[in-house]
Structure 1
Amino acid sequence: MSDVADDRCQVCGALTDDEDLFCHNCGTEVAMADANTVAPSTTAATHSFRCESCGASMSYDASAQALRCPFCGATQLSEVSTQSVLQAEQVVPMGVDRAVAEARLREFLGSSFWHPGDLGRQSQMQQATPVYVPYWVFAADAHTCYTADSSHTPPGARGDWYPVSGERSERYQGVLISGSSVLTPAETQSLLPFDLQAAVPNGELDLTNVTLEQFRVARKHARPWARTSIEQLERQRCATLVPGRARNVRVNVMLSNVSSTSMLLPVWILAYRYRDQVYRVLVNGQSGKLAGQAPLSYWKLFGVIAAVVLLVLVLLLFGALAR
């Protein structure tokens, strides 16, 4: 993969990427250093808003009567002057409706022993908003050389571990790196997987009256995360090639034919209130998979700890009496 020249925005000074064509921080167009550089298309965002509370940048439904940030629920949204923003190349359509998303939330609230017993009854839905969240989708060829220690030692060996090495090659596709500046990496990763084969070219879906979070992670910053993700996968797969148990697995990964696509993925963002605190829950808008926050019942936690301590004391007492 060829390196892309580093430069800075002439307006805000943020690092820019020739491939992204515009500054991801302020939207200023970036002068192309190489006339042959192929850049993704942009679009003029005429109804862009920025949340004063969490900093989310989004293109919002212009017909909405009351603007509210879907990420934090704040109403302090400031309209941003018209600027160029990255237009995703592909979009995965929303396949989960509001009723299903809310049903998944109700199941989640009553699904864990560690949740308060009245969580399902006392929780109040605050909002449920479908949002198209930006992701970078990477593909690459990986050739890996690895070393490790194997518990499978040859006959006559004195030690318990034996050094092994090898190499392998694999084509990776669909490596997803979030382009969101609001959702945490843990939240966006917990929603995976998405069926990317269902993606359609941008323009085939009417996205004029939906909420689109704008790309706020530039391609150049997403690339190292993609490499790290592939290296982690390679470390896991190389470990399976080691006879017996493996330890100290080390990999040296060389990537080639790296490509990336900008894509919007559907996510329901739900918020519920429990005892004066608001919690956020995400639902994969394609599969219905849920990832979210919930309060912990400290009474149950303390009860379990007390029961364990009591059991240990009883066992110690019986052990002492048996002597």
Structure 2
Amino acid sequence: MTTAGDPCRRCSSPFEDGDLRCAVCGAASPAPLVDDLAEATVEVLRCEGCGAAVAYCVTARAPQCAFCGSIVRLEVPEDPLEQAGLILPFTVDRSRAEESFRQWQGGLGWFRPADLRSASRLETLRALWWVGWAFDVDALVSWTADSDAGASRADWAPHAGQTELDLDGIVVSASRGLTPRETSRLLPSYDLGSAREREPGDEAEAVVEQFELRRAAARRQVRSELERLVAGRLRNGVIPGRRFRNLHTSVLARRLVTRRLAFPAWVIAYRYRGALYRCVLSGQDAACLLGEAPIAVARVLLAVLGAVLGVLGLAGLISLIAS
């Protein structure tokens, strides 16, 4: 692991504090100290199905992937791996997770099978931590835009300015086991302020995913998210007026703090009439659950048929009135 200012041996670009690889060319950082090496070189369990990797722990036996249920194999990566330093604790226990899942099944609506809740069988209910980056940014933003403020003869008037913005808690998922749709739905349910230092015994409670996203790639995603957040802040009280167009920004990050976080979740697999479905529940909010469920084809066809008959009946009535 590097310290700020260390040059890359391949392209001479400076490393930032904690970088394991060069953000420009991808070369590995200089050989870490023995203490850091013990933290970075780990055994992982790699899923042969979805490709996700989780930390290996003797006490937490995991012959199946916690994300998709496929077979996992032991792997010792040659390159050092990023690992979560902070963990958000579980506040939803196993019994509450199962209760929330059953309630979710019962409230899916008319287009689902009527016997879904009674006929489905819970296969697995696994606790895990998926991983992501959290960024805190202090930025100086230069902007130009047109707005309706100050416009006398025209509809628009030009404006420009600079403002300082503090944007904390920008999270980028580094998970391979969960989809971007799943992580984006889960993120609002978490309390980032509850994060604590990772402890050796955490792997016995739930598996911890390994980082699959390099910091350079995460920063590119953060830049895109930062531009979106900055535009929203500028439109909400910084740029004068009520209507805006042609907004252009230049963001200078004066301070960038990164944290590696592990987010708690329950991954649920259930079977209905031979087919397997997956759900994901937030480990801190039992109401935040998303997943897959079968469709009652007969009910869908009945609804379509009813709609068609209704349209035909309405058309016939209009034709009768017109004649």
Q: TM-score, normalised by structure 2?
A: 0.78
Alignment partner for residue 118 of structure 2, among 112, 116, 121?
121
User: Does 2:55 align with 1:56?
Assistant: no
Which sections of structure 2, spanning at least 5 residues, go unmatched?
none
Equivalent residue for 1:189, pick from 184, 193, 198:
184
> What is residue 291 of structure 2 aligned with on the other side?
292
Extract unaligned runs of 5+ from structure 1: 9-15, 24-28
Q: Do structure 1's residue 99 and structure 2's residue 95 form an aligned pair?
A: yes
Deviation at 1:206, TM superposition (A): 2.2
> After alignment, is 64-73 or 174-183 more displaced?
64-73
- Give how far 1:286 is off: 1.5
Report the number of matched residues: 300
Match of 1:170 in 2: 165
Q: 1:65 to 1:207 in 2, by over 3 A?
A: closer
Equivalent in the alignment of 1:198? 194
Pairing partner for 1:140 from 134, 137, 140: 137
Deviation of residue 155 (structure 1)? Answer: 6.8
Change (3 A) 1:221 1:111: same
> Displacement, 1:4?
9.7
2:131–2:260 Cα contact (<8 Å) kept: yes
1:310 corresponds in structure 2 to 309
Structure 1 residue 5: Cα displacement = 7.6
Distance, in Å, in 2 between the alignment partners of 1:279 and 1:174 is 32
Residue 74 of structure 2 corresponds to 79
Take 1:104 and 1:175, find their aligned partners in 2: how far apart are those partners?
28
Q: Let me know the Cα RMSD of the aligned residues.
A: 3.6
Q: Residue 229 of structure 2 aligns to which amino acid in structure 1? A: L
Contact 1:109 1:115 in 2 (8 A): no
Aligned equivalent of 1:12: none
Residue type at the aligned position of 1:320: S
Residues 96 and 285 of structure 1 are in contact (CA less than 8 Å); yes or no, is this contact kept in structure 2? Answer: yes
Structure 2: distance between partners of 1:148 and 1:130: 50
Q: Corresponding residue for 2:228?
A: 232
Q: CA deviation at 1:70?
A: 0.7
- 8 A Cα contact 2:145 2:245, kept in partner: no
Alpha-carbon distance, 1:22 to partner: 6.1
**Structure (1/2) with the larger helix percentage:** 2
Q: Which amino acid aligns with 1:138?
A: F
Does the Cα contact within 8 Å between 2:130 and 2:264 map onto a contact in 1? yes
Deviations 1:24-83 (A, max 9, x none): xxxxx93339x9xxx99934424x211112211111341345611111111x22111376
Residue identity opposite 1:32 in structure 2 = P
The change in CA–CA distance for 1:31 and 1:153 in structure 2 (over 3 A counts) is closer
Q: Does 1:222 align with 2:221?
A: no
Q: Is the 8 A contact 1:126 1:272 kept in 2?
A: yes
What TM-score, normalized to structure 1? 0.78
* Displacement of 1:260: 0.9
Give the structure with the larger strand fraction.
Answer: 1
Identity %: 29
